[in-house]
Chains A and B, each alone.
Chain A
Amino acid sequence: MPAEEFHEWLRREGRIVIVGASLAGLRAAETLRAEGFTGSLTLIGDEPYEPYDRPPLSKAVLLGKASPERTDLPRRREIDATWRLGVAASGLDLAGKRVRLADGDEVPYDRLLIATGVRARPWPKEDEAQLDGVFTLRTRDDGVRLHRRLNASPRRVFVIGAGFTGSEIASACRDRGIAVTVAERADAPLVGALGGVVGSVAADLHRENGVDLRTGVMVTGLEGDSSGRVRAAHLSDGSVVETDLVIVSLGATRNTDWLEGSGLGAGPRGIACDAGCRAFDFRGIVTDDVYVAGDVARSPHALFGYQFLSLEHWGNAVAQAEVAAHNMISAGADRRPHLWVPAFWSSQFGVNIKSVGVPSMGDEIMITQGSLAERRFVGVYGCQGRVIAAVSFDNTRWLEFYQRQIELGAPFPLEYPTVDRRPEGRKPVPADFPDPSLPTHGPTVILSGYSPADRRLVFTPGRR
């Protein structure tokens, strides 16, 4: 069948299966219908819930301002799909074009979208992870449990890992007047994502808000009492912190285990795909019927040296899902590349943090507006003479400009004056990222969500 005819048939009566019923899966399904796909659509999700929003789980939900059961994602349109919720996909038969489910069922497809996302990395010592009072935070169920425990007035909460999620949890605890200790292997919070210059501002924020922040230490063990409840954490500096509640926020693991042996290019770092969201098989040959979107995808980005980026960003999940859905039912020339400029936000200790680009690629940072000491600033990251990223603390409204500079490959350092430039911002300084060869608990580009109210369009070079 010629390609055009095939796609016409596919749009009319093809079978599309989406594995992963969260943000990316839902938005892909909606895009398929919006673009005129009338065939059968199946969504498979291992959680028993319809798609819900995760960013509130570490923010409003912990503060008691939103119920963890009520963060359902708003729907853009009817999708008329078969939902297979509460049952995980367990395998993939690439040649036979079938997804195997944990309950033994098999679902055939003409086109498959994998959007299985990530899960929280558990505490590596299994017996300690089993202790009552040891949590991770990723799912709605996690949110419900944690919320309940925080309501029971714990004497102290212990957070392992000061990435974005860990910091947000610590912030929520302080807001609720709960004593909290945060242990971080690096020298400051957020260092992996934003570097040491910004990390030291984050450290000040923690301490000023009453967090007992311990940096440069590792947690060597969690101790339970006789009834199996956690009672203390042991640190590499020999200290012991008594606690009723331990929250492990050591980043995420990609949900690719189910693809083992499938022949797809899937592994612990995600599923490699091309800029059009088509998955590679393990030989590095691109498939044309398996697509990937969201946190589980790794795709090359032209703006960032064609590096394969894996992004755990809310906005990326949406944009990539839309591109994947479009490309699944479009013939060659109509396909679009996924060229989203990474962007994420976090809110902690009353400060709005937002970033665009890939800060960790930067070797220098320049505070172009505001001041670190006031905790209100824009920092611009440079890499080999060009602007590669920017971060703002309570200065969100300027970031669009810097995003454009990243898109344009504008020169770094920024020689021209900007409003509110302070003496400290005249020269770039080393951004102070940890040696990338050292193990960290987070991916290169990190975390948290992206405000739904602030959703960006997909970056297109040259305007439509």
Chain B
Amino acid sequence: MTQPSLLSRITDYANRADPYPLYAELRRTPVLHEEEGGPYVVGSYYDILGLLHDPRVSSDASNLTAAGDDDLSGPEATGLPPSFIRLDPPEHDRLRRIANSSFGPPHRPHRIDSMREELAGIVRELIDGLGETRQIDIVDEFAYPFPVTVICRLLGVPREDEPKFRGWVDPLVASLDPDTRKNADDEFQQAAQEARMQLGMYLAGLVEQRTKEPRDDMLSDLATSHGADGTMSMMEVLSTAVLLLIAGHETTVNLITNGMLTLLRHPEVLQRLREDPGLSVNIVEELLRYEPPVQLVPQRTCIADIELRGVTIPKGSRIWLVLGAGNRDPERFKDPDRFDPDREDIQHLGFGSGIHSCFGAPLARLEAQLALAELARRLENPRLVEDPPPYRRNAVLRGPRHLQVTVDGIRP
């Protein structure tokens, strides 16, 4: 019997709970290319880092010789023009700069930090809302609703519209999951399509409103941008807003859920966090290395032949960068399979690197830090109901679908 290819084992759902032994195998073949037309898969830290900074590597799907039959490397399925995550410079730079002028330094250095209290409030409300229950699904009841609410506040969706907004986002996000999509019936597809339309129309209306009466929110800023980079068109505003929504959603859910799961597997760290919420900063960094929410970057291609470790990756090939494998590379990290929040040398690939390095990183960090610290403080004697928990099918945005936890109570 022939062994199935390593790549198919990596994407095989059966190995979702623990892909790390497969990653170790991957690193033994620096550039893995198992079948004609398949992607070139790279899993060593320094090689990934090199490719993330390589100007011969493109994020623009139109540079692919042929899109793969996998669901990971095709164009975005949003029905909007490509957002900056799927563009190369100079378009990428222009759109990202405009978006950033409303999000971070140098123009808005306080945008995220000034949301700290508000985020803490959302976390508090979500935990308060758990009530008297003794069993919680960390995903459905906490990690999932949290980032949508945050993104609503960031974009400037009025509070009264938040439930409506979430009603559209849920099927939209679900429909982006390749496995959900594969198994979905017509009714589901239709609902997703409908949600996408409704959301688009709603956002367009909101953008129009904010153009006339700008407020202190990102939609207003994007709609009225007028710096050296000019303005974003309505479609660009929409695709940027949807990008922030989608990219900032499942990733954050997974970061928080992977975090809680890892803490429950390392009760001594959970205890330390309970006593010292400040430890959440180190914990989140180590989590981004140890269990990164984005396991691999499947959307790159090269616009020239690239020689890497003696292998020529031909122009137009699909390149997969397995961040989760690079983060556990013993060539880079000492004792890489150990979860160690006291680690000092921790330049992980969790947020990628280079020009596409995670736009929302400062927000994601803050969300996860606040969420984990508060969960640690308030959940009394939390225990995992099953280990490993059931995972989402997605191999790229990897994380538990549910995380059932029993508690003795919830502290005020």
Tell me the A residues contacting B by CB distance below 8 Å. 368-370, 374, 376, 378, 397-401, 404, 416-420, 463-464
Can you name 20 A-B residue pairings with CB atoms under 8 Å?
A369-B55, A370-B89, A370-B90, A378-B55, A397-B53, A398-B55, A398-B355, A400-B50, A401-B50, A401-B53, A401-B55, A416-B305, A417-B56, A418-B55, A419-B56, A419-B57, A419-B89, A420-B90, A420-B93, A463-B331
| B304 is an interface residue with CB less than 8 A from chain A | yes
CB distance from B167 to the nearest CB of A (A): 38
How distant is the Cα of A419 from the Cα of B89 in the complex, in angstroms? Answer: 7
Nearest CB on A from B45, distance (A): 9
Q: Which residue of A lies closest to B46 (CB)?
A: A463
**B-side interface residues toward A, CB under 8 Å?**
46, 49-50, 53-58, 88-90, 93, 303-305, 331, 353-355, 357
User: Separation in Å of the B24 CB from the closest CB of chain A?
Assistant: 18
Residues on B with beta carbons closer than 8 Å to the beta carbon of A369: 55, 89
Looking across the interface, which residue of chain B has its beta carbon closest to that of A415? B304
Nearest-CB residue, chain B, relative to A375: B228
Chain A positions within 8 Å of B50 at CB level: 400-401, 404
Query: Distance in Å from the Cβ of B105 to the closest Cβ of chain A?
Result: 12
Q: Looking across the interface, which residue of chain A has its beta carbon closest to that of B87?
A: A419
A374 and B229 alpha carbons, distance in the complex (Å) = 11
In the complex, which residue of chain A has the Cβ closest to the Cβ of B45? Answer: A463
Q: Say whether B303 contacts A419, CB under 8 Å.
A: yes
Apart from the given pairs A398-B55, A417-B303, 4 other A-B contacts in the complex at a CB distance below 8 Å: A370-B89, A374-B90, A398-B53, A419-B303
Contacts of B93 in A (CB 8 A): 376, 420
The answer to whether A418 and B56 have CB atoms under 8 Å apart is yes
Question: How many angstroms from the CA of A379 to the CA of B90 in the assembled complex?
Answer: 16
In the bound complex, do residue A419 and residue B55 qualify as a contact, i.e. CB atoms below 8 Å apart?
A: yes
Q: Which A residue's beta carbon lies closest to that of B90? A: A420
A400 to B55, CA, bound (A): 10
Contact between A419 and B304, CB atoms less than 8 A apart: no
Collect the chain A residues with CB atoms within 8 Å of residue B331's CB. 463-464
A419 touches B53 (CB 8 A): no
* Docked CA distance A418–B56 (Å): 5
Closest 4 pairs between A and B when the two form their complex, measured CB to CB: A418-B55, A416-B304, A420-B89, A400-B53
Shortest distance between the CB of A232 and any CB in chain B (Å)? 36
B55 touches A368 (CB 8 A): yes
Q: Give chain B residues whose Cβ lies under 8 Å from the Cβ of A417.
A: 56, 303-304
In the bound assembly, the distance between CA atoms of A369 and B57 in angstroms comes to 13
Closest A residue by C-beta to B332: A463
Q: Find the B residue at minimum CB distance from A419.
A: B88
The CA of A417 and the CA of B304, in the complex, are separated in Å by: 6
A401 engages B54 (CB within 8 Å): yes
Separation of A374 and B97 alpha carbons in the complex (Å): 14
Nearest CB in chain A to that of B50: its residue: A404
Q: Which residues of B contact A376 (CB under 8 A)?
A: 90, 93
State whether B354 touches A398 (Cβ < 8 A): yes
How close is A203's CB to chain B, nearest CB, in angstroms?
A: 19
Separation in Å of the B98 CB from the closest CB of chain A? Answer: 14
Taking A416-B56, A417-B304, A419-B303 as contacts, is the C-beta distance between A397 and B88 under 8 angstroms?
no
Q: List, in ascending order, chain A residues with CB within 8 A of B88's CB.
A: 419-420
Inside 8 A of A401's CB, which chain B residues have their CB? 50, 53-55
- Given the contacts A416-B304, A417-B303, A397 and B56 also touching, CB distance less than 8 Å: no
Complex contact A397–B90 (CB within 8 A): no
Q: Which of B50, B57, B88, B90 has the most CB of A within 10 A?
A: B90
Q: Report which of B57, B304, B355 forms a contact with A397, defined as CB distance below 8 A.
A: B355
Q: How far is the CA of A376 from the CA of B353 in the complex (A)?
A: 19
Cβ-closest chain A residue relative to B54: A401
Least distance between B285 CB and chain A CB atoms (Å): 15
Complex formed: what's the CA distance from A400 to B331 in Å?
A: 19
Provide the residues of chain A in CB contact with B357, threshold 8 Å. Answer: 397
Q: Name the CB-closest residue of B to A400.
A: B53
A394 to chain B, nearest CB (A): 9
Chain B residue at smallest Cβ distance from A422: B90
- Bound-state CA distance A374–B89 (Å) is 13
Min distance, Cβ A235 to any Cβ of chain B, angstroms: 33
- Smallest Cβ-Cβ distance to B57: which chain A residue: A419
Task: Give chain B nearest CB distance to A266 CB in angstroms.
Answer: 37
B90: chain A residues at CB < 8 Å are 370, 374, 376, 420
* A378 and B46 alpha carbons, distance in the complex (Å): 22
User: In the complex, A463 Cα to B44 Cα: how many Å?
Assistant: 12
Q: Complex: how many Å from CA A401 to CA B355?
A: 12
Which chain B residue lies CB-closest to A374?
B90
Q: Which residue of chain B has the shortest Cβ distance to A371 in the bound complex?
A: B90
Contact A397:B354 (CB < 8 A) given known A376-B93, A419-B88, A420-B88: yes
Alpha-carbon gap, A401 to B304, bound state (A): 15
Across the interface, name the chain A residue whose C-beta is closest to B106. A350
Q: In the bound complex, how far is the Cα of B267 from the Cα of A104, in angstroms?
A: 61
Q: Which residues of B contact A419 (CB under 8 A)?
A: 55-58, 88-89, 303
> Could you tell me the distance in whole angstroms from the C-beta of A442 to the nearest C-beta in chain B?
28
Q: Which residues of A have CB within 8 Å of B305?
A: 416
A370, A374, A418, A464 interface centre (most CB from chain B within 10 Å): A418
Of residues B53, B58, B88, B304, which shows the largest number of chain A Cβ atoms within 10 Å of its Cβ?
B53
The chain B residue sitting closest to A399, CB to CB, is: B53
Chain A, residue nearest B331 (CB): A463
Residues in B neighbouring A404, C-beta threshold 8 A = 50
* Residue in chain A with minimal CB distance to B49: A400
Inter-chain CA distance A378–B53, complex, in Å, is 13
Inter-chain contacts of B303 with A (CB < 8 A): 417-419
A464 cross-chain contacts in B, Cβ below 8 A: 331
